Structure 1
Amino acid sequence: MVRALVSRWQPLRSLGRLRATLLYGAILLAVTSALVALGPQAQARAVERASTNLHNLGHGHVGTLLGSAFVVDAGPVALWLPGLLCLLGLAESIWGSRHLIYAFVTGHVGATLLVAIGLTVGVESGWTPAEITRATDVGTSYGATAVLGALAVAVPRRWRPAVIGAWLGVGVAAVAVGRDFTDVGHGVALLLGMAVATRFGAPGAWTGWRFALLGVASWFGFLMLAGTVEAMAPAAACGAVGAVVAGALTAARRAHLGATHDRCGTTPPV
């Protein structure tokens, strides 16, 4: 009975192929649960040692570039892990484990290093207080944001410009309202994810359950980018504006190409 149900229901059939997502989720759950059991002091020490701040990187602790992705200080695990698993699982179901890992690591490490370079310049130039060199910076958000950006490139073609424009608008609003280096890191990771996804090839077919996962992943991504309640309204407004502008520009471009092909006596591409 169970085997027949698994063979007939697409989400259950696909679950066995989400090895990277399930493994990463299990590690996050185990690490987070262990830190909670050890108490606040142990959590604080783990976050301090795993942070990819300028102090740790400047002292040669390059292992934090990967280790920081396994230490999360974003509150109770039940609030963020389901959304993260939907986001990563959707990407893995579309492109496979290798491309998921590539997008996640590119966003996590790439955004961390680029933000670190910017903070170094800011501190040495006196634009940023020196205390920021010891700021805590751990978690999955850079990598997850890169995967979110990659998914924006994977949606059906007719919606793609509006979706990309919407996420760019949300990212810009988050940086403008938050004005924190992590918000900048999220924006950088979003762009990195969009860039690497252009090399992944055509995604698989969009089924009903994939659209359902996309809805959960998008809500999780919005909360991750907006960051605070105060930023949600501006982020939603900028996202809507970005979607409309991107859609209008795409429509204008298609109309221009159509007129050009008509003058040349050829059929415009679909």
Structure 2
Amino acid sequence: MTMYAIAVRESRAARVLSHAASVRITAAYAALLAAISVMLNALGPQAREVAVSRMSTNLHNLAHGRLSTLVGSAFVDDGGNICLWLPWLVCLLALGELIWRGKGLVVAFAVGHIGATLLVAAGLIVALKVGWLPFSVARASDVGVSYGAVCVLGALTASIPARWRHVWVGWWLGIALMAASGADFTAVGHVLALLLGIGLSYRLPSAVHWTPVRLVLLGGGAAFGYFVLSGSSEVATAGGVAGVLIALLASQVSRTRTDVSQPEFVPRPA
């Protein structure tokens, strides 16, 4: 092997290590999720059931002061095949970390995971007091990464090029609102997390350049967001399409009003 070939290989290795260091929060979180899932699978269904029960951010646990569930619930899944969704979650989180750095990613995820959880809990308390929901909902299982991940998805809004931003917001809000129309509290939490992320996006750094790597990560992250929000529902997808059309119409009306409000310049005679 020539010295040139060795230098090229070392350069490539250095670039790989540099990219890996740029997403170390994502890598560490993904490794923990995988390790915990494997461990619970090895211990059996009963162990997972106990973990889900103790880590759920439901009203029963929160009312008993188990605030650790606000963090612990982000590391436990409900038993689905983690291999089917973890790679796409990694795409979403890695993109956020590349744009905002590790601290920004943690803030965005925490705002969605904790903020949406507490807002949903407040809504459930009201619903129980007025009799809209049965008291069994107080012990419902509520674990997973979805609130935090959806907030990260929404927080990408300010990084989307301005000419596509209204389409981006319309698509995701349309899907989330249609999914939430079934009065499922988790779906309502997704709407809240998405709105929190959209609001937070203008407080975080935005992407200046969209490199091929970032575009690939955006595609993977968007796929994860779509399946989390819609559950592959055709009705929710139709809601997304409707949201895009409404966003396009609103954008067109806004541009028309702006053009009308600007007086036409008429040169004065000398």
Same fold (TM over 0.5): yes
Equivalent residue for 1:236? 237
Q: Which runs of 5+ in 1 are unaligned?
A: 266-270
Q: Which runs of 5+ in 2 are unaligned?
A: 1-7
Specify which of 6, 10, 16 is matched with residue 3 of structure 1: 10
1:110 matched to 2:115? The reply is yes
Equivalent residue for 1:204? 208
1:44 matched to 2:45? The reply is no
Q: 1:105 to 1:202 in 2, by over 3 A?
A: same
Q: 1:108 to 1:134 in 2, by over 3 A?
A: same
Report percent identity of matched pairs: 46
Distance across 1 between alignment mates of 2:263 and 2:111: 43
Shift of 1:260: 2.4
Contact 2:48/2:79 (<8 A) preserved: no
Contact 1:169/1:240 (<8 A) preserved: yes
Specify which of 147, 171, 174 is matched with residue 166 of structure 1: 171
Specify which of 216, 219, 232 is matched with residue 215 of structure 1: 219
Distance across 1 between alignment mates of 2:165 and 2:125: 36
Equivalent residue for 1:156? 161
Equivalent residue for 1:190? 194
CA RMSD of aligned residues (A): 1.7
Partner deviation per Cα, 1:97-134 (whole Å, 9 max, x = no partner) = 11111110000001000100111111122111000100
TM-score between the two structures when normalised by the length of structure 2 = 0.91
Equivalent residue for 1:92? 97
1:257 maps to a residue whose letter is T
Partner deviation per Cα, 1:196-248 (whole Å, 9 max, x = no partner) = 11111332311112111111111111100113x4xx21111111111121122
Contact 1:70/1:140 (<8 A) preserved: yes
Higher mean displacement: 47-56 or 251-260:
251-260
Shift of 1:163: 0.6
Equivalent residue for 1:25? 30
Distance across 2 between alignment mates of 1:216 and 1:245: 25
- Partner SS for 1:16: helix
TM-score between the two structures when normalised by the length of structure 1 = 0.91
